[in-house]
Chain A
Amino acid sequence: MGRLQDLFEKKKTGVLNVYFTAGFPEKKSTVEIMRVLQAEGVDIIELGMPYSDPLADGPVIQESSAVALKNGMSIAALFDQLKSFRNEIHIPVILMGYMNPVMQFGFEAFCKKAAEVGIDGLILPDLPPFEFEQSHGEIMKQHGLDFIFLVTPETSEERVRKLDQLSSGFLYAVSSSSTTGKEKNMDAVVSYIDRLNAYQLKNPILVGFGIKDKASFHLISGHANGGIIGSAFIHQLQKEVNYTAATQTFIRSILQ
């Protein structure tokens, strides 16, 4: 059983998944931030692979990607940084990124390398189910990687069921159709999650986009299995020079 399956076996609610961009704020900060996230009680780390044209991201994550690229971050450099992270990081870690850089690395080579260093799963928002079913899904499966699809409030029930079937690890519920880092109407988000719950899906549900503080995380945790925080954390890293302290402060503000 994979680390994600293990986690959700033991923990049904209040699962905290934190996103940050690899190579941000400094090229060498990636693993150190992961260490602090684990020590502070985060359940899953979602590591963003920076890209020049991140279509689904709002200004905060775009900016962090641009800085990471300026710092010289690349997929090859990231795998190098992750060479021995499993000696000290034991929580599930997934990679999030866009298809183009992954294609250039070589999709199969990428999956092989990710599995080798100890990555548990992938989120590639611009890989649609049609392409997944053609060949990509099989390759990920061969390398034991989970793949997490996104669903939105506009996704039909039939399609939610299909994406749930294709996903493993968890299902990523985007709180409303938007780019990352936008304000949300939380009442609408809650009723959307309750609707998803009524479908009795096979995967746990984590809610992302608009989860930014203790209040929104707790609200969502009462309905879904947990939440994903990205832009709010990146914003904290942008504000504070010391990224170790910024990470500590931010996670404590959510969990304590």
Chain B
Amino acid sequence: MNKTFTAPDLQGYYGPFGGAFIPEMLFQNVEHLQQSYQEIYNDPIFQRDFHALLKDYVGRPTPLFLAERLSEKYGSIIYLKREDLCHTGAHKINNTIGQILLAERLGKKRIIAETGAGQHGVATATVCALKGLECIVYMGEKDIDRQAPNVARMKMLGARVIPATSGSKTLKDATNEAIRDWINNPTDTHYIIGSVVGPHPYPDMVAKFQSVISHEMKAQLQEKTGNPLPNRVIACVGGGSNAAGAFYHFLDEPSVEIVAVEAAGHGITSGLSAATTQLGVPGILHGSKSIVMQTSDGQVVEPHSISAGLDYPGIGPMHAHLFSSGRGRFLSATDEQAMHAAFEVSKLEGIIPALETAHAFAVLGDLQLQKGEVSVICLSGRGDKDLSTYMNAMNEQ
């Protein structure tokens, strides 16, 4: 058998990680997805509809931009994959477009989703409005308070935003509430998970929908550099959906270095961090086996990151496998380093990145980039949603 890092086995395992650890109440729904997603995904008519929406509604292909001043500063060649230019401002919509078309095919009338920073919630509310489907978004009570503009956008798009009031009242708990909703509504509801997490087939399905990012990169690199393969691809990782998409078509190309950047929060050892691969151990969260931040008696702990989108105590099973097998190089950036990088990119390239994305830029100085090497950074989202955080930082200076 060919060793591949992209596709899980039939039970949804990437090496030792993945699977479907779900209560029987979810079995019918998850099995139905397991049996149908490949066939639907491979159907030419589905592909036609998917790519038509990506082109005319999302605005794909997104540009691959040569960041000249950044390249000059780091003495190497740096390209930016402009996912921030997608409709709704981030890569999240690639997945929600795919899943809403899938939900239509499955005959589902009601869509649920979880959201942390609100980007996935907005992307879900958007495609539900497009298709006229009922949309319910679970969002941690704490996140509702700190992400007011995205809550307003979801409501304007016709979604109902339900606060998750259990546990720590953030993304992990919003995900729990969405899964409980799915248990309680087993027939008419499709759950659009926003990252490459959850029970099989979600990690594979979401990675496939996001893989359009690296598919385009390859063609664009060929055109711009004469070689479809860069020396490395860099992306930030929370659950890991933009990273999965940016890495996907390069994972089985050993010459391409894969760099994943986690959120170190106040610092890896500070007790306020979200660097899952550094701090976690193998465990089960939200239906799959992966690396999970937890106490010694197996209680999931609340992570910390300045960026709500990376504030997650787990990581997708595909990434856990990239980490444990050594295929991926896992680095981290603190809140402060990410903030510094956000201002640097803004001033050097005229692009204000999302705080999540800023983490990917923050490691450029650590990579010892060589002259003539080509690196691609997945610029996963734009920074409008983080303006109040950026303004506070400017006021403090």
Contact check, B299 vs A51: say whether CB atoms are below 8 A apart: yes
Tell me if B172 counts as interface (CB < 8 A to partner A): yes
Binding site for A on B (CB under 8 A): 11, 19-25, 27-28, 166-167, 172, 176, 179-180, 183-184, 186, 281-287, 292, 294, 296-300
Contact A126 B22, beta carbon cutoff 8 Å: yes
- The docked-state distance in angstroms from the alpha carbon of A182 to that of B181 is 12
Would A150 and B23 count as touching, CB distance under 8 A?
yes
Are B297 and A55 in contact (CB-based, < 8 A)? no
On chain A, which size bracket covers the interface?
A: 35 or more
**Beta-carbon contact of B283 and A150 below 8 Å:** no
Kindly list chain B residues whose C-beta atoms are within 8 Å of the C-beta of A255: none
Q: Is the CB of B25 within 8 A of A103?
A: no
Q: Is the CB of A74 within 8 A of B284?
A: no
Residues of A within 8 A of B180 (CB): 55-56, 58, 179
Task: From known contacts A100-B285, A128-B20, A178-B25, infer whether A52 and B183 are also in contact, taking CB-CB under 8 Å.
Answer: no
Smallest Cβ distance from B19 to chain A, in angstroms? 7
Q: Are B298 and A150 in touch, CB under 8 angstroms?
A: no
In the assembled complex, the CB of B110 is this many whole angstroms from the nearest CB of chain A, namely 15
Q: If the complex has contacts A53-B172, A178-B184, are A100 and B292 also in contact, measured as CB distance less than 8 A?
A: yes
Task: Evaluate contact between A151 and B19: CB separation under 8 angstroms.
Answer: no
Q: Which of A66, A131, A154, A163 contacts B21 (CB under 8 A)?
A: A131
Tell me which residues across on chain B come within 8 A of A75, comparing CB atoms.
297-298
Q: Is A152 an interface residue (CB 8 A)?
A: yes
Q: In whole Å, how far is B171's beta carbon from the nearest beta carbon of chain A?
A: 12
User: Is A155 engaged at the interface, CB distance under 8 Å to the other chain?
Assistant: yes
Is the pair A152, B299 in contact by a Cβ cutoff of 8 Å? no
Distance between B11 CB and nearest chain A CB, rounded to angstroms = 6
Interface contact A104-B283, CB-CB below 8 Å? yes
User: A59 contacts which chain B residues (CB < 8 A)?
Assistant: 166
Can you name 12 extra interface pairs (CB under 8 A) apart from A58-B180, A126-B21? A55-B179, A56-B23, A56-B25, A75-B297, A75-B298, A101-B299, A126-B284, A152-B24, A154-B25, A154-B28, A154-B186, A179-B25
Say yes or no for A149: interface residue by CB 8 A criterion. Answer: yes
A177 within 8 A of B: yes
> Top 6 nearest A-B pairs by Cβ distance?
A101-B298, A104-B298, A74-B297, A125-B23, A150-B24, A177-B186
User: Considering the complex, which residues of chain A in the window 66-112 have a beta carbon less than 8 Å from any beta carbon of chain B?
Assistant: 66, 69, 74-76, 98-105
Closest chain B residue, CB of each to CB of A156: B28
Which residues in window 32-58 of A have CB below 8 A to B? Answer: 51-53, 55-56, 58
Residue of B nearest to A209 (CB): B25
Whether A196 sits at the interface, judged by CB under 8 Å, is no
Interface residue A127 (Cβ < 8 Å from any Cβ of B): yes
CB-based contact A102/B21 at 8 Å:
no
Contact A125 B24 (CB under 8 A): yes
Judge whether B297 and A101 touch: CB under 8 Å: yes
> Nearest-CB distance from B149 to chain A (Å)?
29
Separation of A151 and B23 alpha carbons in the complex (Å):
10
**A residues in contact with B24, CB < 8 Å:** 125, 149-152, 155, 163, 174
Question: Given A105-B298, A177-B184, A179-B180, does the pair A100, B22 have CB atoms closer than 8 Å?
Answer: no
Q: Which residues of A in the span 127-161 have a Cβ within 8 Å of any Cβ on B?
A: 127-128, 130-131, 149-152, 154-155, 159
21 example contacts (A-B, Cβ-Cβ < 8 A) are as follows: A51-B298, A55-B176, A55-B286, A55-B287, A59-B166, A75-B298, A76-B297, A100-B292, A104-B281, A104-B296, A126-B287, A128-B22, A131-B19, A131-B21, A149-B24, A154-B25, A174-B24, A177-B183, A179-B25, A179-B183, A179-B184
Tell me which of A66, A102, A128 contacts B298 (CB under 8 A): A102
B25 is contacted by which of A76, A104, A131, A150 (Cβ under 8 Å)? A150
Bound together, the chains give a CA A154 to CA B285 distance in angstroms of 24
Give A74 Cβ to nearest chain B Cβ, in Å.
Answer: 4
Chain A residues with Cβ under 8 A from B184's Cβ? 177-179, 182
What separation, in Å, do the CA atoms of A178 and B11 have in the docked complex? Answer: 25
Complexed CA–CA distance, A178 and B23 (Å)? 10
B186 surroundings in chain A (CB, below 8 A): 154, 177
A247 within 8 A of B: no
- B23 adjacent to A104 (CB under 8 Å): no
**Cβ-based interface call for A62 (8 A):** yes
Minimum Cβ distance to chain A for residue B176 (Å): 6
In the assembled complex, the CB of B39 is this many whole angstroms from the nearest CB of chain A, namely: 20
B21 (CB) vs chain A CBs: closest residue: A126
Question: In the complex, are the beta carbons of A130 and B11 less than 8 A apart?
Answer: yes
For residue B165, give the distance in angstroms from its CB to the closest CB of chain A: 9
Residue on B nearest A182 in the bound complex, by CB:
B184
What's the minimum C-beta distance from B210 to chain A, rounded to whole angstroms?
Answer: 25
Q: Of A55, A105, A159, which contacts B23 at CB under 8 A? A: A55
User: Complex Cα distance A62/B169, Å?
Assistant: 13
Whole-angstrom distance between the Cβ of A193 and the nearest chain B Cβ: 16
What residues of chain A lie closer than 8 Å to B19, measured between beta carbons? 130-131
Give, as a whole number of angstroms, the nearest-CB distance from A199 to chain B: 16
B252 to chain A, nearest CB (A): 27
Q: Digit string of A163-192 for contact with B (CB within 8 Å is 1, else 0)?
A: 100000000001001110010000000000
Bound CA span A131–B200, Å: 13
Q: Which residues of B contact A101 (CB under 8 A)?
A: 297-299
